Amino acid sequence: MTTIGFIYPDHAAEDDYPLAEQLLGGTAVDEGDIRLAVEHIYGTDKHAVAELLDLGSEARLADGAALLAKHEPAAVIWACTSGSFVYGWEGARDQADRLAAVAGVPASSTSFAFVHAARALGVKRVAVAASYPDDIARLFVDFLGAGGIEVVSMASADIVTAAEVGAMSPEAVVELAVGHDHPGAEAVLVPDTAMRTLGEINAVEAALGKPVLTANQVTVWEGLRLTGQHRLVRSLGALFRHLPGGSA
């Protein structure tokens, strides 16, 4: 069995992870059971720069790694988009490196997961449908740009707290993603691990006619990537129907 550890901030949409674990029981490219272990760290859930810098601090992530240690994970992911991209590309790289050092296993974050997932699909031009306030959403755009991903349009829903995002209805999630597509975008990106999206991905892709990448989706995928595990799961969008080095 391969265990992947996730450090999740506070509580909002963490039930996406047991759902993902259940769905990952499907066809395996690499044999072996997958366990997704989630531990929580706590701070303010406000989408504001100072608060996010504190939430993603070395000390808080070290606490999360310590909580995950009992699960003996093969990799650890900081399951927070804004709490990683707020540091910028180099700062987020340092954040992941320090997490890997304290956890003793490979580590990454949701922000890098978005870039790696887009690259895996060959996507270079995207639309961003963000729940964040505008200033925070623009930092995500900057991060994607540093990773070689061009943002052709960005919309922000101006939701201040993760708790409010976690309370969004499935219909609201679909409306956010579908309503902020752009004809020049090859995919739509929906950041924020506080948003429940796994159950809505196929509906969004059917409406868009293109891939959608969401925070909890790419976070789980990143954990699989770091551990060399791959799953073909038709209910989790184009990303999980894509074979590494191959086609869907």
| Arithmetic mean of pLDDT over the chain | 93
Residue 130 lies in a domain: yes
Contact between 68 and 104 (Cβ < 8 Å): no
pLDDT (tens digit, 9 = 90+) per residue, 194-212? 999 999 999 999 999 999 9
Residue 233: pLDDT above 70?
yes
| Counted domains in the chain | 1
Beta strand 2-9 with 34-41 is parallel
Q: What does the alpha-carbon distance between residue 113 and residue 41 come to, in Å, rounded to a whole number?
A: 20
Residue 246 lies in a domain: no
Q: What is the CATH number of the domain that holds 142?
A: 3.40.50.12500
Question: Which domain range does residue 144 map to?
Answer: 2-241
CA 196 to each of CA 146, 162, 212: distance values in angstroms, whole numbers, following the listed order? 27, 11, 14
In the DSSP assignment, the letter for residue 64 is: H
Q: What does the alpha-carbon distance between residue 82 and residue 201 come to, in Å, rounded to a whole number?
A: 21
Band the pLDDT of 30: cuts 50, 70, 90. low
Contact between 76 and 103 (Cβ < 8 Å): yes
Q: What does the pLDDT read at residue 248?
A: 39
Return the SS3 of 172: helix
Q: What does the pLDDT read at residue 45?
A: 81
Mean pLDDT within 10-34:
82
Residue 127 lies in a domain: yes
Q: What does the pLDDT read at residue 74?
A: 97
Residue 246: pLDDT above 70?
no
Residue 248 lies in a domain: no
Q: What does the pLDDT read at residue 31?
A: 55
Residue 247 lies in a domain: no
Q: Quote the distance between the C-alpha of residue 106 and its chain's center.
A: 16
